[in-house]
Amino acid sequence: MLLPGAQLLHRPLCCLRALGHLPSRSLMNLRELVSALNDFASLSLAESWDNVGLLVEPSPPHTVNTLFLTNDLTEEVMEEAVQKKADLILSYHPPVFTPLKRVTWKTWKERLVVRALEHRIAIYSPHTAYDAIPHGVNNWLTKGLGACTSVPLHPSTAPSYPAEGTHRVEFCVDNTEHLDTVLSRIKDIPEISCLTTLPARVEGEEQTRVSLNCSQTALVEVVALLSQNSLLYHKTEILLLQKPLLPHTGMGRLCTLSEPVSLSDIIERIKSHLKLPHVRLAVGAGKTLESPVKKAALCAGSGSSILKGMEADLYLTEKEAGKHKENMTGNHKALFVSEKQEKHHLDQTVTRSLK
């Protein structure tokens, strides 16, 4: 019998075509499978503090026929994965978070790595990458509220973008000899890119417009150079380059219900969606179970930093009210649920994607 939070996927892994359009085969190379998982949820979307991706890799080549899903990889879950002859464990929470200085039999996390390598089991964790994606944990939680529109609380930015550098500097030069001198000195500055010159007409005069991208460090040197000529410096524009936001992607969700619903009705909806017999609830001063809810802010996991300062009628999170005291002021309500929210997402969304 599978342990709570664990699920076994034992079928030909041609099922991964839905993730990465891989060719049909009965066995799949680990690196190809990891590539497909990364395509499903780009690791670049994970929070900077997180530890995601392939955490343990047996020596190649390593083929995968049996994938074992779990919310948390404990020693007990590891033993079951060994018994089931799993080739890869997908653990939502990363079992290895802080760097290991040694791999011995002393601590349980070290023992997980030892057991995995002994039995040639790879370990992969998506964690906050699965939280951020449009079809991820946060978006799945919004479905428990009923009909609503939602936007990410902390939107994700495009992981890669054609523009290089953090700033763009543009200025005009009216003297060819002066232009050659300035360009020569600019080219000696490290971390300069996309340096271009174009003819321009400024106040009826023919000039040359110079544009370049640079890092924060290089910007200081560029400004110092241009400031040596007051006329040139006063014609300078500095633009901050920002990556575009990804639609429907990011941490947390702010949900606006199509119609106000009582708190008691929302509780029943959440319990049904997460298949929970009960939830923990903290009610704001002057509010009751019949108070209307129009706007809800939610976040998988603790979410204290994501939800902080967010105005809403309801806060849906995993942790207790003590972690969210700053959000419980005024006339707000808060609803807290267990981490089973993540288990059910693995069971439904990820498993469905593997079929």
Q: What is d(CA 119, CA 347) in angstroms, rounded to the nearest whole number?
A: 25
292-298 and 314-317 as β-strands: parallel, antiparallel, unpaired?
A: parallel
CA angle 101, 103, 108 (to 5 degrees): 105
Give the number of other Cβ atoms within 10 Å of residue 222's Cβ: 22
> Any binding-site annotation on 188?
no
Q: Which amino acid is at 125?
A: S
Write the CA distances from 223 to 209, 240, 257, 333, integer angstroms.
16, 14, 50, 51
Ordered DSSP codes for 46-87 = S-TT---EEEE-PSSP-EESEEEEESS--HHHHHHHHHTT-S
- Token pair, residue 296, equals 């809800």
292-298: strand order across its sheet = 148-151, 253-262, 292-298, 314-317, 334-336, 280-282
Q: What is d(CA 230, CA 237) in angstroms, rounded to the nearest whole number?
A: 13
Q: What is d(CA 322, CA 324) in angstroms, rounded to the nearest whole number?
A: 5
Q: At what angle do helices 176-187 and 216-226 cross, to 10 degrees?
A: 150
Q: What is d(CA 206, CA 199) in angstroms, rounded to the nearest whole number?
A: 7
> Any binding-site annotation on 10?
no
Per DSSP, 27 falls in state S
Write the CA distances from 125 to 40, 53, 79, integer angstroms.
13, 5, 18
Q: What is d(CA 277, CA 338) in angstroms, rounded to the nearest whole number?
A: 11
Verify cis geometry, omega within 30 degrees of 0, for the bond prior to 152: no
Bind-site residues for a divalent metal cation: 93, 131
Bind-site residues: 93, 131
